[in-house]
Amino acid sequence: MEGIFTTNNLWMMIATVLVFIMHLGFASLESGLTQSKNTVNILFKNATILPIGLLTYCLWGFNIMYPGEDYAGAFFGFAGFGLDLPEGVAGLAEYADGAYTYWTDFIFQAMFAATAATIVSGAVAERIKLNSFLIFTVIYVGLVYPIVGMWKWGGGFLQTLETPFYDFAGSTLVHSVGGWGALVGVMLLGARLGKYVDGKIRPIPGHSMPLATIGVFLLWFGWYGFNGGSVLSADPGLVSLVFVTTSLAAAAGAIGALFTSLIVIRSNDLTMVLNGILGGLVGITAGADQMGVTDSILIGLIAGALVVLAVVFFDRMKLDDPVGAISVHLVCGIWGTLAVGIFGALASGTQFVSQLIGVAVIGVFCFVSALLIFYVLKVTLGIRVSAEEEVEGLDIGEHKMRAYPDMVEDHTQEKVFS
């Protein structure tokens, strides 16, 4: 038993490290897909989101998300501030049926917590005030995310439905939570200067496709911990299955995006393929442990196609998302969650209804919560930088430094502003 406990715990710690690497992937992807004059700002946000997530999750988030058996079927629970390590073996070999320790449980879950705000970061990039974004992060990661997580993973009301809502690793509980926040942020901020001119969509290309590509592959790499760790043990059969379903969905997402972009926008667009990979990963996350080969490929193909269609749709609606975060995390998060009721071992009409209930309830709660937070910030501190600061770049306006001081900055928007 000691050997099994050690192996399980070791795998969970490795998975934690892999999820940690995903934050570097987000930073690389977001900075690559935005203009060079905003690189420091993007990196600064990503360098502070994870610390905020870890600290808020330690101080109260963990005990909101996992309040204990007394709150089974509830909408909210709270087990107190801080971490309370069970004494002796109760926090070690006897914790979680010997799958991992109390400390491993906390740190693995804490790595998930900051992801929701990281998703928002990319969507509102290049025009949001730094201080307002950080305040939003504290509230959204510290309260909204753990409350929603408790509804399923903490034994709340979605877990106690007649047919329980199912979300293996967080297509809805992580990705769409971030996606709803991103959607609200984009709606209230408005588009970047020069993005929509005279009824036309003007592309504002990112400054580094190599950096964006590195970011996507770092995220794919980290996803093996994100999904594989969600097995919550080193079960050899289940972990290896999850690795396969995750890989196939990501690959199919790339191909789905490739062909859809050729048909819809008539271009071999690298950004679409990159986001197609991420869409496939998000799509499989809800049911990675329940799917077979064919199911995983179909889920990924559809997710990849949805990414392209969603990017085009949001652009036509003048919702400016520089990195495609809403398309990837919200649209594909919803798709992946509903797919659990359509494909795989859990496929049934009643399961689909439960999935629909979970998506709807979580969507309304997150949308309203994000709207309230952003609106209060908008009427108090303000959420958008000045036009002059946006044209010059947030690196100078917010940080008084440049990411590439030896390079001539590209101020293509300056002509539009003037």
What is the enclosing helix (H) or strand (E) of 200?
strand 200-201
At which residue do the structure tokens 């330690």 appear? 58
At which residue do the structure tokens 């969600």 appear? 230
pLDDT band at 418 (very low <50, low <70, confident <90, very high): very low
Across 10-30, average pLDDT? 96
The residues facing 384 across adjacent strands are 128
Using an 8 Å Cβ cutoff, are 98 and 5 in contact?
Answer: yes
Across 70-77, average pLDDT? 92
Q: What is the pLDDT of residue 198?
A: 87
pLDDT of residue 353 exceeding 70, the answer is yes
Using an 8 Å Cβ cutoff, are 56 and 240 in contact?
Answer: no
Report which of 350, 314, 344 is spatially closest to residue 329, judged by C-alpha positions. Answer: 314
Provide the mean pLDDT of the chain.
94
Across 27-49, average pLDDT? 97
Please give the biggest Cα pair distance in the chain: 71
Q: Is 409 helix (H, G, I), strand (E, B) or coil?
A: coil
CA distances from 212 to 17, 204, 216, 219, 304 (A): 21, 15, 6, 11, 17
Q: What is the pLDDT of residue 417?
A: 41
Q: What is the pLDDT of residue 85?
A: 78
Across 50-57, average pLDDT? 95
Phi, psi torsion values for 231, nearest 5 degrees: -65, -25
pLDDT of residue 90 exceeding 80, the answer is no
Residue type, 400: K
The residues facing 196 across adjacent strands are 201
Q: What is the pLDDT of residue 408?
A: 54
Phi, psi torsion values for 153, nearest 5 degrees: -70, -25
Domains of the chain: 2-77+88-417 (1.10.3430.10)
Across 320-348, average pLDDT? 97
pLDDT band at 117 (very low <50, low <70, confident <90, very high): confident
Report which of 166, 178, 141, 161 is spatially closest to residue 62, judged by C-alpha positions. Answer: 141
Phi, psi torsion values for 384, nearest 5 degrees: -115, 140
- The CA distance from 267 to 308, in Å, is 11
Phi, psi torsion values for 66, nearest 5 degrees: -130, 75
Summarize pLDDT for 293-302 with one digit per residue, the tens: 999 999 999 9
pLDDT band at 1 (very low <50, low <70, confident <90, very high): low
The residues facing 201 across adjacent strands are 196
Summarize pLDDT for 143-188 with one digit per residue, the tens: 999 999 999 999 999 999 999 999 999 999 999 999 999 999 999 9
Q: Is 25 helix (H, G, I), strand (E, B) or coil?
A: helix
- The CA distance from 116 to 357, in Å, is 21
Q: What is the DSSP letter of 171?
A: I
Structure token digits, residue 109: 């879950």
The residues facing 232 across adjacent strands are none
Report CA torsion sign: 189, 193, 195, 200: positive
Global pTM reads 0.93
pLDDT of residue 412 exceeding 50, the answer is no
Q: What is the pLDDT of residue 413?
A: 47
Summarize pLDDT for 246-287 with one digit per residue, the tens: 999 999 999 999 999 999 999 999 999 999 999 999 999 999
Q: What is the pLDDT of residue 414?
A: 43
Q: What is the pLDDT of residue 94?
A: 78
Residue 295 burial class via C-beta count within 10 angstroms: exposed 0-12, middle 13-18, buried 19 and up:
buried
pLDDT band at 3 (very low <50, low <70, confident <90, very high): confident
pLDDT of residue 108 exceeding 50, the answer is yes
Summarize pLDDT for 180-232 with one digit per residue, the tens: 999 999 999 999 999 999 889 999 999 999 999 999 999 999 999 999 999 99
